[in-house]
Structure 1
Amino acid sequence: MPLPFLTADRDLDFDHRAAESTPLPHDEPDQWRRPYRPGPWRVGAAAVFLLLASFVMLSAVIIALAGSLPGALGCLAVAALVIAFAVRLLRMGVWVSASGLRQVGLLRTTTEPWRAIAAVRTVQQPVRWLGLPRTVQGQALIIHRVQGEPLRVQVTDHNGDFLSRPEAFERAADVLEAWAAEYRP
């Protein structure tokens, strides 16, 4: 079964010599896509939560066989919440389409049309390491709005997608900047 939220744009693994003529390799610009793959830390964390959910569902079956239906339903509800958390964890990141830019967080999603985006650029600044309170010096992709504060920092070289993968961060930042350059008025 294909899981489109796990794969990046399949055309991102293109020949860089051909990229000079076409900066954005995409077939359907109106479809929302994440222009980078989720990193091993994010996928590993989601796998651990899915494993936990399988154990909770197994315990729900055992509780149901023991005759306690309310307890089994409670375990199934907890398993459903853990599965929803794992899927949301995998979907986190920056998504783009011809209509705008979308930041998917754990609890909220922010969508901005391209006309509301003033600039997308990479800056050196202290960034959070794997989303934890500890900060280290690194690079972050900052998205400035035409009016108001910049969007919260979602893409850094030390988050779950790009830790120990600086070339993947550079490629993702370049692609996001290219989307902004093409679709911003």
Structure 2
Amino acid sequence: MGVADNWVRPYQPGSGRWVVIAWEAFALAMLSWATVRQFDLIGHGVRVVACLLAAIWVVGAWRVLQLGVYVSAEGVLIRGLLRSRVMTWREITGVRMHRTTHRLGPWEIESGRTVLLERRDGGTVNTELWEQGVDFHSRPTVFKAVYQEIRNRHRRAADST
């Protein structure tokens, strides 16, 4: 399956993405300043460092804005920070919520729910949809609605085959 032009993200991105982008700009500005100071750069050296880190910021900000899960009649497109993945509805046997926990020594720390896609081979794929993430942290009903939308699209695709 090729990348279709009809991918839609079934939710509006959260405002937290802009906080991430601003934080990236601040961190890269500090890195630029530290690099210039550390290596006593002047003139062209300063411009090269500034332009290089600005280009990295632009690419990173664009990817942050594009992050997410997109759906179409053909399947699911998961856009991550570094790579994207396309799965057809035929490759997916189920869509489920998963309660995420992290272990810290003897303690288990709950960190909310995520949406997983179950593959035909028995494996699972994380969709990057996280209840506590920048898109859904203060919008739990949107998180549940997106989960239901993906499940419904999967169910309709399975019924049509």
TM over 0.5: yes
Q: How far apart are the structure 2 equivalents of 1:157 and 1:34?
A: 16
Return the offset for 1:47.
Answer: 3.5
Q: Match of 1:151, SS?
A: strand
Indicate the structure with greater strand content.
2
- Given candidates 69, 72, 88, the residue that maps to 1:94 is 69
Instruction: Give the aligned partner of residue 44 of structure 1.
Output: 19
Return the offset for 1:96.
Answer: 1.1
Once the two structures are superposed, residues 11-38 of structure 1 have per-residue CA deviations (whole angstroms, 9 ceiling, x without a partner) of xxxxxxxxxxxxxxxxxx9611111111
Q: Is 1:144 aligned to residue 126 of structure 2?
A: no
Task: Count the aligned residue pairs.
Answer: 143
Q: Is 1:76 aligned to residue 51 of structure 2?
A: yes
AA matched with 2:147: A
Instruction: Give the aligned partner of residue 86 of structure 2.
Output: 111
Instruction: Tell me: CA distance 1:33–1:54, structure 2 relative to 1, closer, same or farther (3 Å).
Output: farther
Instruction: Tell me: CA distance 1:85–1:149, structure 2 relative to 1, closer, same or farther (3 Å).
Output: same
So what's the TM-score if we normalise by structure 2?
0.74
Q: Percent identity?
A: 27
Q: How far apart are the structure 2 equivalents of 1:103 and 1:83?
A: 21
Instruction: Tell me: CA distance 1:181–1:30, structure 2 relative to 1, closer, same or farther (3 Å).
Output: farther
Structure 2 residue runs without a partner (length 5+): 33-41, 103-107
Q: Is the 8 A contact 1:127 1:156 kept in 2?
A: no
Return the offset for 1:119.
Answer: 0.8
AA matched with 2:7: W
Instruction: Give the aligned partner of residue 144 of structure 2.
Output: 170
Instruction: Give the aligned partner of residue 5 of structure 1.
Output: none
Q: How far apart are the structure 2 equivalents of 1:117 and 1:85?
A: 30
Instruction: Tell me: CA distance 1:30–1:80, structure 2 relative to 1, closer, same or farther (3 Å).
Output: closer
So what's the TM-score if we normalise by structure 1?
0.65
Q: Match of 2:10, SS?
A: coil
Q: Is 1:161 aligned to residue 138 of structure 2?
A: no
AA matched with 1:76: C
Instruction: Tell me: CA distance 1:94–1:87, structure 2 relative to 1, closer, same or farther (3 Å).
Output: same
Q: How far apart are the structure 2 equivalents of 1:30 and 1:114?
A: 17
